[in-house]
Amino acid sequence: MNKVVLIGILIGAILGYIYWEYIGCYWGTYPLSAVCWINCLTGGIMGGFVCSFWVEER
Nearest to 14, CA basis, from 36, 43, 52: 43
pLDDT band with cut points at 50, 70 and 90 for residue 31: low
pTM: 0.81
Q: Measured on CA atoms in the order 17, 22, 23, 26, is the torsion positive or negative?
A: positive
- Please report which confidence band the pLDDT of residue 29 belongs to, taking 50, 70 and 90 as the band edges: low
Q: Is 14 exposed, middle or buried (0-12, 13-18, 19+ CB in 10 A)?
A: middle
| Whole-number Å distance between alpha carbons of 16 and 40 | 5
